[in-house]
Amino acid sequence: MKKFGYVSVEHYVPFMQEFAEELEKGNIIATKCKTCGTEYFPPREECGNCYSTDMEKIKIEPEGTLVTYTIIHVPPESHANMAPYIVAVGEFNNGLRTMAHLVGVTSMDDLKVGRKIKIVVQKLENDRIVYKFVPA
């Protein structure tokens, strides 16, 4: 099954399918290493810090803060028809940071670093799913 993202990453498919199914229900699932405590979103099955595979799932709230962003004018081929678009780094309220497209921007106020943003789920064609930031 290939559900998450614009393109599939084959070796993550079973794990990412479960992640995508939770996203569809509105559950934002991260993982936390039981050995060293490092958290990951998108979730990972193994820890990039200590290489442990003893991970637990944690649910995080969709709200966060805009840390930084960039506007992409020269996109990769898979995103050719989207440019220009905004890629942002957001920080969730638990301190975990992630990168996603920022959509729904209607004024420069929406691009102020430190403003509130949140993750929303977007369904694509062919039963695929992605998450994006929107101004909150």
Contact flag: residue 28 with Zn ion (CB under 5 A): no
Instruction: Give the nearer residue to Zn ion in terms of CB position, either 45 or 127.
Output: 45
Rounded Cα distance, 13 and 3, in Å: 8
- Segment 82 to 121, residues that bind Zn ion, using CB under 5 A: none
Contact 50, 36 (CB under 8 A): yes
- For residue 30, the SS3 value is strand
**Could you tell me the smallest distance in angstroms from the CB atom of residue 50 to Zn ion?**
3
Neighbours of 89 (CB within 10 A): 18
Which of residues 20, 23, 30, 33 is near Zn ion by CB under 5 A?
A: 33
Q: Which residues pair with 57 in a beta bridge?
A: 31
Contact flag: residue 52 with Zn ion (CB under 5 A): yes
Contact flag: residue 35 with Zn ion (CB under 5 A): yes
Contact flag: residue 50 with Zn ion (CB under 5 A): yes
**Could you tell me the smallest distance in angstroms from the CB atom of residue 118 to Zn ion?**
28
Only one of the segments 2-10, 50-58, 88-96, 109-117 lies at the binding site for Zn ion (rule: CB under 5 A); that segment is 50-58
**Phi, psi values for residue 70, rounded to 5°:** -145, 155
Please name which of 91, 122, 89, 78 lies closest in space to residue 104, comparing C-alpha atoms. Answer: 122
Task: State both tokens at 5.
Answer: 């993202």
Contact flag: residue 36 with Zn ion (CB under 5 A): yes
List residues binding Zn ion (CB under 5 A). Answer: 33, 35-36, 38, 47, 49-50, 52
